[in-house]
């Protein structure tokens, strides 16, 4: 998560003539802008991610020190860091060598019992059959040329009984972005397909996995991304009134007495992501 900071500078006031009364100095109120990424993490936790009490990376996907966790498309390493803290063996694979190295370094402060890294396009995965007890691949399938081949590799390297945590963008959010997003958002190497709920379930089932649950979340991010395209700011420093107002509004919503109920209702209408938990027979 990116931390966004503003530095405030003060200038020395001009001297005031003695004949002019000096008003009482007002108390300066410094209003700190809510970090949209920290709020997004909080929203994810409310959706079932990163449960510190139950050791579930996502609801229904518990991780322990006995597990071997493979994360394909590891990104910034947030998922495997949660697993590494629990002492699991970690295997990471990504086509981006910089992300693999950054994730390896991020894992260095965890008690993970082993860390194995691969820079690969996953066709095939350089991992032996029946290796992992937990397989994670989030927001990757929409990027790959052949989803069936990609999933076949994930299934091959999982042990019998392994649990799978898979996610792709939800079509409700993708359809919302279509006429607003930058053209490259829907071009290779980014999102080259929109996957419906039924297509996602079919891909997973046809790969030989048993679906345990299918859920969706992320109304906050759906609207944030829509406004992001309009704001035309850098993703690493998204400081813009549109985004700032939306972030503060969503914070007020989730902090309200019925915030969780409102969030659940809106997540069901326009979700950023859909998630499947599945098992290898």
For residue 226, give both structure tokens: 């829509």
Residue 146 domain-assigned?
Answer: yes
Question: For position 33, what pLDDT does the model report?
Answer: 86
Residue 29 domain-assigned?
Answer: no
119-167: pLDDT as tens digits: 999 999 999 999 999 999 999 999 999 999 999 999 999 999 999 999 9
State how far the Cα of 87 lies from the Cα of 74, in Å rounded to an integer. Answer: 18
Q: How many domains does the chain have?
A: 1
Residue 203 domain-assigned?
Answer: yes
Q: Given the structure tokens 């809510």, which residue do they identify?
A: 34
Q: How far is C-alpha 94 from the chain's CA centre?
A: 16
Mean pLDDT per 10-residue run, the chain (281 residues)? 32 35 42 89 97 98 98 95 98 96 96 97 96 98 97 98 98 95 95 98 98 98 97 95 97 98 98 98 98
Residue 122 domain-assigned?
Answer: yes
CATH number, domain of 186, equals 3.40.50.150
Q: Is beta strand 273-279 parallel, antiparallel or unpaired with respect to 68-72? A: unpaired
Residue 271 domain-assigned?
Answer: yes
Residue 7 domain-assigned?
Answer: no
Q: List, as one string, the DSSP characters of 149-211.
A: HHHHHHHHHEEEEEEEEEEEE-HHHHHHHTTTS-GGGGSTTS------HHHHHHHHHHTTPEE
Question: For position 240, what pLDDT does the model report?
Answer: 97
Sign of the CA dihedral with 185 first, then 190, 193, and 195 last: negative
State how far the Cα of 206 lies from the Cα of 208, in Å rounded to an integer. Answer: 5
Question: For position 19, what pLDDT does the model report?
Answer: 35
Question: For position 32, what pLDDT does the model report?
Answer: 76
Q: Give buried/exposed letters for 77-92 (b at 16+ CB in 10 A, else e).
A: bbbbbbbbbbbbbbbb
Residue 141 domain-assigned?
Answer: yes
Residue 242 domain-assigned?
Answer: yes
State how far the Cα of 225 lies from the Cα of 248, in Å rounded to an integer. Answer: 15
Q: Kindly report whether the global pTM for this prediction surpasses the value 0.85.
A: yes
Question: For position 22, what pLDDT does the model report?
Answer: 39
Range of the domain at 210: 36-46+54-279
């Amino acid at each position: 998560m990116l931390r966004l900071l503003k530095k405030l500078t003060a200038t020395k006031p001009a001297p005031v003539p003695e004949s002019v009364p000096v008003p009482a100095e007002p108390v300066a109120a410094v209003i700190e802008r809510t970090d949209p990424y920290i709020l997004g993490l909080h929203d994810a936790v409310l959706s079932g991610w990163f449960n510190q009490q139950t050791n579930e990376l996502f609801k229904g996907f518990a991780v322990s020190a006995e597990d071997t966790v493979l994360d394909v498309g590891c990104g910034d390493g947030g998922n495997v860091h949660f697993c590494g803290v629990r002492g699991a063996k970690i295997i990471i694979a990504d086509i981006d060598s910089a992300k693999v190295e950054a994730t390896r370094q991020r894992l260095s402060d965890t008690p993970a019992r082993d860390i194995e890294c691969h820079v690969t396009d996953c066709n095939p995965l350089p991992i032996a059959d029946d290796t992992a007890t937990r397989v994670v691949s989030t927001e990757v399938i929409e990027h790959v040329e052949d989803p069936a081949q990609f999933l076949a590799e994930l299934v091959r390297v999982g042990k019998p009984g392994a649990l799978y945590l898979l996610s792709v963008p939800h079509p409700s959010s993708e359809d919302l972005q279509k006429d607003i997003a930058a053209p490259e958002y829907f071009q290779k190497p980014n999102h080259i397909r929109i996957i419906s709920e039924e297509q996602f379930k079919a891909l997973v089932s046809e790969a030989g996995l048993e679906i345990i649950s299918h859920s969706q979340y992320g109304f906050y991010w759906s609207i944030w991304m829509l406004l992001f395209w309009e704001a035309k700011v850098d993703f690493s420093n998204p400081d813009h009134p549109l985004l700032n107002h939306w972030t503060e509004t969503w914070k007020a919503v989730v902090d309200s007495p019925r915030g969780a109920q409102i969030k659940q209702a809106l997540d069901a209408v326009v979700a950023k992501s859909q998630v499947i938990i599945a098992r290898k027979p």
